[in-house]
């Protein structure tokens, strides 16, 4: 009985490596997105706290100089928030791209694995037919030996 040899085993190996690589890239992109989202959440919390501080400060006294400083500071925080939101949007896009790449890599691997399974099944069926033929030949020879023609 000959050993099963899948001709596309190297393709299968490469598809496994690409899938693992895609998985790592996806995980890294998701981690970066989480980090950026946490930074954005912290910034939003800081803006909320600063808004509360400014309301307290202006309820006590109102000076134009302080209002200008506070206004500039608030605008800077808002610009930073918008920048962070844009960064998060970009990271989400990257995560989606990596997710699609991972999905494609998984599809390719599964396709090669199904092909391998089909080839293995065909191989086993062929081996069964060969074995059955050999058994039939042996049985026929025994029968001829046991019942020689006279």
CB 29 within 8 A of CB 91: yes
User: pTM score > 0.75 for this model?
Assistant: no
For residue 103, the enclosing domain spans 9-112
Which pLDDT belongs to residue 6? 85
Which pLDDT belongs to residue 3? 84
User: Has residue 63 been placed in a domain?
Assistant: yes
Residues of the chain with pLDDT under 70: 1, 58-62, 149-150
Q: Could you give the number of structural domains in the chain? A: 1
User: Has residue 16 been placed in a domain?
Assistant: yes
Which pLDDT belongs to residue 54? 77
Which pLDDT belongs to residue 81? 92
Which pLDDT belongs to residue 67? 76
Q: Which of 21, 9, 41 lies closest to 112, judged by CA? A: 9
Which pLDDT belongs to residue 19? 95
User: Has residue 122 been placed in a domain?
Assistant: no
CB 101 within 8 A of CB 85: no
Q: Angle formed by the axes of helices 9-60 and 64-146, to 10°?
A: 160
User: Has residue 135 been placed in a domain?
Assistant: no
């Amino acid at each position: 009985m000959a050993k099963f040899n899948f001709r596309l085993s190297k393709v299968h190996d490469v598809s496994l490596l690409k899938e693992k690589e895609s998985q790592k890239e996806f995980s890294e992109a998701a981690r970066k997105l989480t980090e950026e989202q946490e930074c954005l959440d912290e910034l939003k919390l800081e803006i909320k706290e600063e808004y509360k501080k400014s309301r307290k400060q202006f309820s006590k006294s109102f000076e134009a100089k302080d209002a200008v400083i506070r206004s500039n500071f608030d605008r800077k925080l808002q610009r930073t928030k918008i920048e962070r939101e844009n960064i998060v949007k970009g990271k989400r896009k990257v995560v989606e791209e990596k997710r699609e790449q991972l999905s494609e890599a998984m599809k390719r691997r599964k396709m090669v694995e199904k092909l391998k399974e089909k080839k293995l099944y065909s191989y086993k069926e062929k081996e069964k037919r060969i074995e059955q033929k050999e058994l039939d030949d042996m049985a026929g020879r025994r029968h001829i030996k046991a019942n020689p023609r006279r």
